[in-house]
Amino acid sequence: CLKMAEEESQEFKLKVNSELRFEVEHKASAEIEMIEGSGEMFGTELAKNKKYAFVSGSKVAIYTWHGCVLKLKGKTEVAYVSTETPMTVYVNTHAALEQMRSKAEEDSTRGPRILVVGPTDVGKSTLCRLLTNYAVRLGRSPVLADIDVGQGNMGLPGTIGALVVERTADIEEGFLNTAPLVFHYGHKSPNDNFQLYNMLVLRLAEIINVRCEQSKKVNSSGVIINTAGWIRGAGYEALKQAAGAFEVDVICVLDQERLYNQLKGDLPDFVKIVLLPKSGGVVERSQAIRADSRDSRIREYFYGLKNNLFPHTFDVKFNDVKIFKIGAPSLPESCLPLGMKSQDSQTKLVPLVPAMSLLHHVLSVSAATTVDHDIVETNVLGFLVVTNVDMDKSVFTVLSPSPRPLPQTILLVMDIQFMDIK
């Protein structure tokens, strides 16, 4: 066994401005240790002689500005060193943002708001992580927002959210999202309920504005916004709406000249639009892998990245909660009450009578305390999965990160399902 472990260990000597890229095999793990020099992963510095573990399917790049020696152990699908990276362009972008932050700090105004856009698999999330980390390393506290409902980096897939970042991302676990602000959307594509999506993006932006007004430091640090890779048709409209909602100053377009030109033509001149190259290391993901990664994200919420959390399972009486979904099927305008548009039904709260159809659905626990609240625009506290419905006893069983009782009793149903099979 020891021999095998030895065989699997590889050493890489990285020269200046190069990176080691690797992908951890499915159902395997890998470990990296920096034994000399200095290196960073998506903007977070590695500590020397510390072992970092990566779970199945992780796609990692360790970059070095000055050279380092790395020891890689475990099962990796590919592991190679590349000297072709866009890191210099990215760090220059960061430097330009930093100038805007310094100016904002001096003038007590708002720091840069950056929207990161581009097609799927160009490294949008990674660039957001990098820019956020670099800002934090200089003592800033930017807001990182994510409006990519397919991944749901702040909450679960089917949500959008934001958090104030005060520490660099953990190498293994990413940003600590202990208190993110999360809104329930319920679907995995913005197209499923376009109206609701845009409304929630606007709401998120409003709350971020309030947060910025409360702290001079957060305000001058700015906002970094990650978007979905949906850039055509309504997806493009959604990006423009988001740019307006967040009043962005800068748009970083990754790897698509067409989108860059389109935005340049459509947005006002004060929005600075920059075209950035993608990294050759970003790996393309098939639809199947995306679905898998959504599933892992939900599993991780309940069980932890390394199976280190222990969720609870308990029964909830139908009578003890109120369940809603957002958006009624649209009716032709002629069937609606006078004055109501069919769009309005998309953002309407619809009460649900508990039924077998709830099984396996993800539920968001709303922070709203009464039904008189504007539940659609209220943030959520956490998530449950329905693992059983007993119509005879009028109870359903939930998987929950915390023991009973539920923190609140207004629940919102997602389209998204999760099967709790290991």
Asked if residue 352 lies in contact with residue 410, where contact means CB atoms within 8 angstroms, the answer is no
Residue ranges in 28-145 assigned as alpha helix (H): 87-107, 124-137
Structure tokens at 264: 């340049």
What does the alpha-carbon distance between residue 296 and residue 305 come to, in Å, rounded to a whole number? 9
Q: Which of 155, 229, 327, 354 binds ligand ATP (CB under 6 A)?
A: 229
Residue nearest to ligand ATP (CB): 281
Spatial strand order of the sheet with 349-351 comes to 312-317, 395-400, 380-390, 361-366, 410-417, 322-326, 349-351
User: Largest alpha-carbon pair distance within the chain?
Assistant: 77
Quick one: which segment of 165-173, 241-249, 280-288, 378-386 binds ligand ATP (CB under 6 A)? 280-288
Half-sphere exposure of 329 (CA within 13 A, CB side): 2
Quick one: which segment of 121-129, 298-306, 334-342, 372-380 binds ligand ATP (CB under 6 A)? 121-129
Q: What is the 8-class DSSP label of residue 378?
A: S
121 binds ligand ATP (CB under 6 A): yes
Q: What is the 8-class DSSP label of residue 178?
A: S
What does the alpha-carbon distance between residue 319 and residue 317 come to, in Å, rounded to a whole number? 5
- H or E stretch including 413? strand 410-417
Least distance from C-beta 419 to ligand ATP, angstroms? Answer: 22
Closest CB to ligand ATP among 85 and 408?
A: 85
What does the alpha-carbon distance between residue 331 and residue 281 come to, in Å, rounded to a whole number? 47
Structure tokens at 198: 């845009």
Quick one: which segment of 123-131, 162-170, 297-305, 370-378 binds ligand ATP (CB under 6 A)? 123-131
275 binds ligand ATP (CB under 6 A): no
Pairing relationship of beta strands 361-366 and 349-351 according to DSSP bridges? unpaired
Least distance from C-beta 124 to ligand ATP, angstroms? Answer: 4
Peptide bond into 332 cis (omega under 30): no
| Stretch 235-274 residues interacting with ligand ATP (CB under 6 A) | none
281 binds ligand ATP (CB under 6 A): yes
| Stretch 24-63 residues interacting with ligand ATP (CB under 6 A) | 59, 61
Least distance from C-beta 422 to ligand ATP, angstroms? Answer: 23
375 phi and psi, to 5 degrees? -60, -40
Least distance from C-beta 120 to ligand ATP, angstroms? Answer: 3
Asked if residue 276 lies in contact with residue 90, where contact means CB atoms within 8 angstroms, the answer is yes
Number of residues located near ligand ATP, criterion CB under 6 A:
16
Least distance from C-beta 371 to ligand ATP, angstroms? Answer: 35
Quick one: which segment of 97-105, 124-132, 161-169, 201-209 binds ligand ATP (CB under 6 A)? 124-132
Binding mask 189-228 for ligand ATP (x = CB under 6 A): ----------------------------------------
Q: Which of 102, 120, 191, 388 binds ligand ATP (CB under 6 A)?
A: 120
Structure tokens at 97: 């943002």
Q: Which of 125, 168, 400, 408 binds ligand ATP (CB under 6 A)?
A: 125
Least distance from C-beta 57 to ligand ATP, angstroms? Answer: 8
Positions that interact with ligand ATP (CB under 6 A)? 21, 59, 61, 120-126, 148, 229, 279, 281-283
